[in-house]
Amino acid sequence: MTCKNKFVNTPTKTESSVDMPVKRGRRAPLELVLGLGLTAVLFSLVAISGWLFPDEGMGMDLSARLLAPFHSWRHVLGTDPLGRDVLARVLVGGQVSLLVGFTSVIGASVLGVIVGVIAGYYRGYWETFLMRCADVQLALPFILIAITFISILGGGLFNIIFFMIISQWVQYARLVRGLTLTLREREFVLAVKAIGLGDLLIIWRHLLPHVKSPIIVLMTLNIANNILLESSLTFLGLGVDPMIPSWGGMLADGRNYLQSAWWVSVFPGLAIMLCVLGLNLLGDWLRDKSDPTTEH
């Protein structure tokens, strides 16, 4: 959390200096406020959804089918064709999306960072082999292969997360390798080597802290990306179990009732959009902060 405070303070400091930084300082807080606000509100609503709606959006009430939104307090966002509350399902459905988004990104980054550090620090055959794998993987049309594989192995939470990890570790590996290549030649690495520190300690204490911030930026943007990916797979019927409420699944259901009940498909889509928008804003702001070259 200390790093957050550091970031919050920077724009006010730069604001007083000349010309360009003023513009930068003016823009950054807007992104930060919007991004943090959106994600904080959505994440906390999703987090307490189990407590707000004890039936987890599964309770059917066939006498209250397809109620329009904003008409009663019982069903603020209306009900779906089975009389289930849309608000409850949107919030509970968020749990799946966030779970997939976060676990897949954590898994991919851990794998990618390990591979990238090994390739960049030890070089040699390892590097050639791992980076060839990465090249081939980057050139493959991955969505198509994902669709093929998931249609075979069946959707399910675990398979989707697994597949996202397999398809995304490459990005982290390449990023970390590139950074490690230059870092390992720096004097401070030579210095700690001279002291006689072991490789693992050098990597952990002296290399990883330097690659931390670009990794965090990539992770933030990828969480957003993966939430989108999960919802499109679920929408196509290749994702999580249709019985579990999820944003993509709700959209697929609601599509058939577009003429009579627009709210069933509008609200889950809106939830995806706001969630991804918040994360993108945060990611953008983080990137601008950590990489001054993108700003000019």
Binding site for another protein (CB under 8 A): 23-24, 26-27, 30, 135-136, 139-145, 147-149, 151-153, 224, 228, 231-232, 235-236, 251, 255, 258-259, 262, 265-266, 269, 272-274, 276-277, 280-281, 284, 294, 296
The number of residues making up the chain comes to 296
For another protein, give the closer residue by CB, 21 or 107. 21
88, 179, 183, 193 from 186: Cα distances, Å = 54, 11, 5, 11
Q: Which of 105, 115, 130 is nearest to 180 (CA)?
A: 115
Contacts of 149 (CB under 8 A, 6+ apart): 163
Nearest residue (CB) to another protein, 69 versus 183: 69
The token pair that represents 241 in the structure block:
């179990």
**Closer residue to another protein, CB minimum distance, 60 or 277:** 277
- Is the Cβ–Cβ distance between 106 and 167 less than 8 Å? no
For residues 122-156, b (16+ Cβ closer than 10 Å) or e, as one string? eeeeebeebbeebeebeeeebeeebeebbeeeebe
CB of 63 to another protein, least distance (A): 27
Output the smallest distance, CB 61 to another protein, in A. 25
CB of 134 to another protein, least distance (A): 13
Minimal distance, residue 265 CB to another protein, in Å = 6
Q: Which lies closer to another protein via its Cβ, residue 159 or residue 180?
A: 159
Cα 65 → chain centroid = 34
Residue among 111 and 266 whose Cβ is closer to another protein: 266
Instruction: Give how far Cα 151 sits from Cα of 144, 217, 234, 255, Å.
Output: 11, 31, 11, 21
Nearer to another protein, 3 or 22 (CB): 22
How many angstroms separate the CA atoms of 168 and 134, rounded?
A: 10
Closer to another protein at the Cβ: 87 or 233? 233
Residue 185 C-beta: closest distance to another protein, Å: 28
Contact 252, 235 (CB under 8 A): yes
